[in-house]
Structure 1
Amino acid sequence: MAFSTLLACMRINRPNADLLAVVSDMAERFGSSVIGLVAKQASAPLYARGVGPLEPPEHDLQAFMEHASAAEAEFRGALTKIGTLEWRPQLTIGPAYEQVANEARSADLVIAPIDDQDLSFLASGQTRLGDLVLRLGRPVLAVPSGASGLELNEVLVCWKDSREARRAVADAMPILQSSRHVDVVEIVETNGVDESRRRLDRVGDWLARNGVEPRCSSEVSTGAEARQLSAIARDLKADLIVAGAFGHSRLREWAFGGVTKELLLHADRCVLTSH
């Protein structure tokens, strides 16, 4: 089990050095092919009454292709050591996240940048990372601004006994198997520690059967779960956090906060998440 193909979601008209540094490290480590993608929704009205879908206007298409060409040059220049590269620019008449989700059919792992302001990974008219995570059907490796690559000396797995967490850990298995140290941590209330330890013993056994020797621990909640997990990650000097996405309803979590949103919004390290 490995990542044979990576899909790199690049920004338009903005630097992508941080994203591409992580893409390069992952592709070299796993011998992956890389698809580079820029996608943007055209600014024109999508439909005319009685006519049906419209083509993107010429001026939109020309400006997009100019920006996409610059992004392609950056993509190919940063990944000269990677054997197989493919470039896919897409100007869409529908939401860009739909196009990105469709392109994910070709990949094992999607790598996308985090915007510190609003979690968008591309310019205006494209999409938000939260929308993308919900629709991909693939794990997402989210890259914060300023990343210089991805070492795998220490990985923190944020465990919950949920479908999303189980999916994220399974999706991250090639990374966990390649990491020097893996810590699995569950945040629980005081009265839930014993049961949490029993769960984590079984998680640890499953990981060990897959070639991962984790350190598992139950931590008593001290308040905001995402902040506590981020503090643990800093103490461990974790290179990567693995966490399930959207354990609550998407509307409730994105509107009122939640671990997924907080981990991504305040990310100071890469986060691998699945839904």
Structure 2
Amino acid sequence: MYKSLLLPLVDRDGDADALDLAVRLAALHGAHLSVLVMIDLPPPVVDPWGLMPDPVTAQSHADLRERGSARLAALRERLAAETIDWEARTVEAMSMGAPRAATRESYDCDLVVLGGAIGDTVESAVPREYFSSLLLEAGCPVLVVPPRCAAEVPTRCITIAWQPTREAARAVRAALPLLRAAKTVDVLAIDDGKTPDAEPSGRRMIAYLRRHGVEASWVARPAGEETVATRVLQFARHSRSQLLVVGGYGHSRLREWALGGVTRELLIGADQPVLYAH
């Protein structure tokens, strides 16, 4: 079971849904929930003689801190009625940036919950930066919750996007607390002609899950003319899956975003929560 959850609020539409899901997960698992109001402060002006006093930057910092305090007060009011064990606090980031500051707060948690954003837009750039930093540097799984996804807890129908990689295997192990509560678990392999050993390893994974009390079914689908991520999403929607479990960034992050990849496409297109591990 998850006993320590972390939710950094990124000040985007997905925050509300992520908070709702995190609260319900904390209640289900008897977990402690830490919610962070991130305050991203612009660095002070630097000149050849060192840091210069800058009234504009100072006023910007004051405004951002005031806004962060208001958000924190609203958050605490929202959580006051909950019976879970929770804390809410602000985290200021200046020299390292807010995503890395959030990552430094995550080393003692079991699962990070993060609000996402559908589409490849300017609005979605900030959640993606948090996602990349947390997934690659925190050492724990990241559950991305897109806005207005109506996530269910406990999750009854889960799809594992399987490929024989370290990242996918870690994602499955990280998702065990959720998988044990599910009624339907599909281990899905999309045949793109590049992973001939997907089925033998996938069936071994099913046996592994059974030893952990999880009954799962093997499903194979051809990729055809579609990308792997597109076929995964098509299957998830057709089967009414409420959660995807995938390995994140099997290739480098730069390659994923420049050339495309499963992680990139799922971040853009998934309209249900996705648990990633790296």
**TM-score over 0.5 (shorter chain):** yes
Aligned residue runs from structure 1 range 205-224, under 5 A: 205-222=207-224, 223-224=226-227
5+ residue gaps, structure 2? none
Aligned residue runs from structure 1 range 62-77, under 5 A: 62-77=62-77
2:147 alignment counterpart: 145
Does the 8 Å CA contact 1:39/1:91 hold for their aligned counterparts? yes
Q: Which amino acid aligns with 1:232?
A: F
Encode CA deviations 1:188-237: one digit per residue, 9 max, x unaligned: 246966x4332222111100001111011222222211000000000110
Encode CA deviations 1:158-178: one digit per residue, 9 max, x unaligned: 011001001111111111111
TM-score (norm 2): 0.87
Equivalent of residue 182 in structure 2, options 158, 168, 179: 179
Partner secondary structure for residue 16 of structure 1:
helix
Change (3 A) 1:17 1:74: farther
Equivalent-residue separation in structure 2 for 1:53 and 1:82 (angstroms): 48
Aligned residue runs from structure 1 range 83-232, under 5 A: 83-93=84-94, 94-116=96-118, 117-118=121-122, 119-121=124-126, 127-151=129-153, 152-189=155-192, 195-222=197-224, 223-232=226-235
Partner secondary structure for residue 33 of structure 2:
strand
Equivalent-residue separation in structure 1 for 2:258 and 2:194 (angstroms): 29
Change (3 A) 1:53 1:84: farther
Q: Report deviation, 1:53.
A: 11
2:21 alignment counterpart: 22
Q: Report deviation, 1:41.
A: 2.9
Partner secondary structure for residue 160 of structure 1:
coil
Does the 8 Å CA contact 1:185/1:217 hold for their aligned counterparts? yes
Does the 8 Å CA contact 1:10/1:71 hold for their aligned counterparts? no
Q: Which amino acid aligns with 1:84?
A: D
Change (3 A) 1:250 1:14: closer
Q: Report deviation, 1:153.
A: 1.2
Q: Report deviation, 1:70.
A: 3.2
Give the total of aligned pairs. 270
Q: Report deviation, 1:71.
A: 2.6
Q: Comparing 111-120 with 250-259, which one deviates more in the overlay?
A: 111-120
Encode CA deviations 1:31-80: one digit per residue, 9 max, x unaligned: 11110112233223375556479999542332223322333234334433
5+ residue gaps, structure 1? none
Alpha-carbon RMSD across the aligned residues, in angstroms, is 2.6
Partner secondary structure for residue 107 of structure 1:
coil
Does the 8 Å CA contact 1:3/1:109 hold for their aligned counterparts? yes
Q: Which amino acid aligns with 1:139?
A: P
Equivalent-residue separation in structure 2 for 1:103 and 1:270 (angstroms): 22
Does the 8 Å CA contact 2:14/2:148 hold for their aligned counterparts? no
Does the 8 Å CA contact 2:115/2:146 hold for their aligned counterparts? yes
Equivalent-residue separation in structure 2 for 1:108 and 1:206 (angstroms): 21
